[in-house]
Amino acid sequence: MRQAGMTADEYKTVLQSILQVHSQLALEHLNAIKHALPQKARQVMVGVHPGQSEEGFFDIVVHLEGPDLYVLDKAIERHRLLFEVKCIDGQMRPDVPMFDPDDAAFSVNDVIVDICMEWIEGLWQRLGGLGLPAFVFGEEGYGTVESKPLLP
């Protein structure tokens, strides 16, 4: 596990470059979702879900809105997870900076949400959207804005 001793701006730059490396795979997942969208889906929500401890863990997950959420999300289950930070055999995958939540000089989760929102917006524009109203949000109120509409 890599311990971070960096500023918010340094972390933003590192996080942007890590996400950029994973852009093609995320686009492939979004395209697969676009082709598998259930007819009853009414809206797409892309959630940035940072870890509660502010160490640097987070996931980016696609959620559908409409009747019978279980059925809707099941239809896209294999492609819902656009990005995930996890620890495997003591190594971070991908190798994102990790923080001691008591020592970080900034809100790690706010930075995660803001940078991930920008990344999702760029992916959405490259793909041309999914054909439904959509927005990206940060879980638990993290980020400088609660949510943003995603425009093709």
pTM: 0.94
Amino acid at 103: D
CB of 125 closer than 8 Å to CB of 35:
no
| Tens digits of residue pLDDT in 10-31 | 999 999 999 999 999 999 999 9
CA distances from 106 to 32, 41, 88, 119 (A): 36, 38, 26, 20
CA atoms within 13 A on the CB side of 17: 8
| Tens digits of residue pLDDT in 94-148 | 989 999 888 888 999 999 999 999 999 999 999 999 999 999 999 999 999 999 9
- What is the per-residue pLDDT for 8? 93
Q: Does 94 sit behind a cis peptide bond, omega within 30 degrees of 0 on the bond before it?
A: yes
Name 135's bridge partners. Answer: 45, 149
Helices and strands, number each (H, E), in the chain: 4, 7
Tokens of 20: 């950029």
Cα–Cα dist 47/29, whole Å: 15
- The gap from C-alpha 115 to its chain's centroid, in whole angstroms, comes to 9
| Tens digits of residue pLDDT in 44-71 | 999 999 999 899 999 999 999 999 999 9
Alpha helix stretches (DSSP H) within 37-152:
69-75, 108-127
